[in-house]
A and B are shown apart, each in its own frame.
Chain A
Amino acid sequence: MTASMRDMSVGRDSKAWRGLIVPLALLALWQLIAARGLVSPLVLPTPVQVLHALKALAASGLLAQSLAISLQRLLYGYAIGVAIGLVLGVLLATSPLARKLIAPSFYAIARIPLLAWIPFLIVVFGLGEPLKLFIIAKAALTPVTINTERAIAAISSGWRELGRLYGLPILTTAFKILLPATLLPIFVGLRFGLVQAWSALVVVELLAASAGLGYQLTMSRQLFQLDTMMALMLVIGVTGLAMDWLLAASERRLVSRYGGGA
């Protein structure tokens, strides 16, 4: 899992434009199908209609409002997930007792897909904000914990020896040696956690929310405004991508500061 996560990180590809081929081809196909009237425009609006819907959504202020609500939910849920995930990861990697006690349950719980949790969590938390925060936090927690644990476990004993050899205090060992050595793999976990949290956010907002991007998505479908619905899908995709870019950029800075990573 860690290896595949690392694949999606770091470095600029000079042939990155190739990534645009598939989306542009799909866009052309979409325009063609819509323009030829092969599918009712009520079901598949044209890209231009979607763009107009996006403009109208932005002009009405609804877009900014929904985005703000969704991002706030994400921030709180993600912060909770990351905080618990980091502590849990360190604990699992450093304490054999904690590992024996927690690891089996943690991995068992992590393997139950998010959607399977939802009915149970509704019963426990009800339909309000705590439910949404819990689900977002849970989505972020798993990759953060696993990556943190593996990052620390992967540190060769040589690094720890180094600290002991120089007689460094434990905190100095942690901050000067262990932290730089584990920072990058942990960061990959944070990045992956954010992707998971964002997907989870949209899912929970489709349920019983009264505001946010996912809620607006449901509403636009209920009101048969599929152009608005597709505009919102676009916003959700672009926002997720933008956040990932942001973290990828920070990751590059870390790499240049601490070297090529673990």
Chain B
Amino acid sequence: MLTRRKLGASLAAVGLLATPLTARADNTKPAKIRIGVAMAGLGGRPYSLGSALSVVHAQGLLEKEFAADGTAIEWNFYAGQGPAVNEALANGALDFAWQGDLPEVVARSRGLQTTQLIVAGNRSPVYVVVAHDSKISSLADLKGKTVANFQGTNLELSVNRILASAGLGEHDLQIVNLDQNTAGQAVAEHQIDAAFVQLGIPARAQKYLKVIYHSDTAHPELTPQASFIVTNTFASAAPGVVDRVVRVAVGAAHWSSLPENQDALYGIYAKTGYPLPFIKQVFKPIDPLVATSPLWDAFQRAQLARSAADADAYGLVRTPVKVDGWINAGPLNRALAVLELENHWPQFAADGLTKAG
């Protein structure tokens, strides 16, 4: 164990030394860019769904962007979601990461040095599923029931908010910590009463389940947020590379927002192994222009601040997190200017409903 840690440490140290040597000015050409994705497809398939990063990966956009520089792109998909990404970040094994707000807040409270680049997934719906023959029909009915939540992931914050909206708290339920695949199956097999799920449940479990709640578009503040971050070590060593990566991601977000690309987008999401009909059911009701927005508008900033405050209120962090100075919209704004997309996505006020400016 110790030797492995030591080895990891030496490798990390070499990595730290190597980055500044190879990356000085804006035209840096790092040997490798390491990206962590806080999601894996069914059975560990190396695909994700729900954000522009899914498209960047599936279409090989970064590989194309950096081909001429000889920079390798290393994609790492973590079934353990955000908590697993945090461990990899702390080990110095990643440069960029796509993950949810709660794990990001948790890592920041522990002193992990990262910078927020773009929003990559917002207002993604949260469902409560029960067995098809269950008598549970509303959130209020969940009181005293055994309910799955994937704790420590950004689903957890959303679950707490949704429960609070129905006058409940986690302590009113018997919460069991299960990942979403296991949770869906456990409900289908009547082992637990209900599960909060976010993006996908296995097809074979679906026919035994019914949805009794889904977060509606009138309350975007209840939904989880995900974003794309960079380690401060990498950002200060290779700011030019950060700009290029963000430009590619914003380009992918733009592609994902166009109505004519929606079927292709769902096809990319389906590479995770989750059934296409379910993916359509989840994403069709959401306006693609809103869902794909990378902007740090007043709503997205408020969501990040709300997640930091909620993580503290629900006792998920020991040190409260300040969000000031965490977001660097510079690379995003430059990308929007270059791609002429400044007015493509709507800007929302803090409530997430009123369009601003």
Contact = CB atoms under 8 A, between A and B. Distances in A.
A30 B1 CA distance: 11
A222 B6 contact: no
B163 interface: no
A127 B90 contact: no
B83 A42 contact: no
B174 interface: yes
B91 interface: yes
A39 B152 contact: no
Contacts of A172: none
A204 to B, nearest CB: 13
B226 to A, nearest CB: 17
Given A222-B177, A224-B106, A224-B107, A126 B191 contact: yes
A208 B195 CA distance: 13
Contact of A43 (B83, B91, B177, B191): B91
Contact of A222 (B13, B83, B318): B83
A209 B178 CA distance: 9
B90 A42 contact: yes
Interface residues of A, number: 27
B2 A221 contact: no
Interface string B313-336: 000111000000000000000000
B235 interface: no
A126 B92 CA distance: 39
A136 to B, nearest CB: 18
Given A38-B6, A40-B91, A126-B191, A223 B176 contact: no
A121 B309 CA distance: 40
Nearest to A126: B191
Interface in B1-38: 2, 5-6, 8-10, 12-13
Interface in A209-231: 209-210, 215, 218-219, 221-225
Interface string A30-56: 100100001110111000000000001
Contacts of B342: none
Contacts of B6: 33, 38-39
Contact of A210 (B9, B176, B189): B176
A128 interface: yes
B2 A33 contact: yes
Interface string B280-319: 0000000000000000000000000000000000001110
A38 B8 CA distance: 9
A58 B318 CA distance: 15
A223 B317 contact: yes
B250 interface: no
Interface in B180-195: 182, 186, 189-192
A42 B87 CA distance: 8
Contact of B192 (A30, A127, A224): A127
A174 interface: no
B151 interface: yes
B191 A33 contact: no
A29 interface: yes
Nearest to B89: A42
A39 B192 CA distance: 40
B60 interface: no
Contacts of A56: 318
Chain A CB count within 10 A is highest, among B8, B83, B106, B177, for B177
Contacts of B146: 128
A218 B107 contact: no
Contacts of A39: 5-6, 8-9
Interface in A77-124: 122-123
A251 B201 CA distance: 53
Nearest to B8: A39
Contacts of B152: 219, 221-224
28 contacts: A30-B2, A33-B2, A33-B9, A38-B10, A39-B8, A39-B9, A40-B92, A42-B111, A43-B8, A43-B87, A43-B91, A44-B5, A126-B189, A127-B186, A128-B146, A128-B191, A208-B177, A208-B178, A209-B177, A219-B151, A222-B152, A222-B153, A223-B106, A223-B316, A224-B103, A224-B107, A224-B110, A224-B152
Given A39-B5, A219-B177, A222-B177, 18 more contacts: A33-B2, A38-B6, A38-B10, A39-B9, A42-B110, A42-B111, A43-B8, A43-B91, A56-B318, A209-B177, A210-B174, A215-B177, A222-B151, A222-B153, A224-B83, A224-B103, A224-B106, A224-B152
Interface of A: 26, 29-30, 33, 38-40, 42-44, 56, 122-123, 126-128, 208-210, 215, 218-219, 221-225
Interface of B: 2, 5-6, 8-10, 12-13, 83, 86-87, 90-92, 103, 106-107, 110-112, 146, 151-153, 174-178, 182, 186, 189-192, 316-318
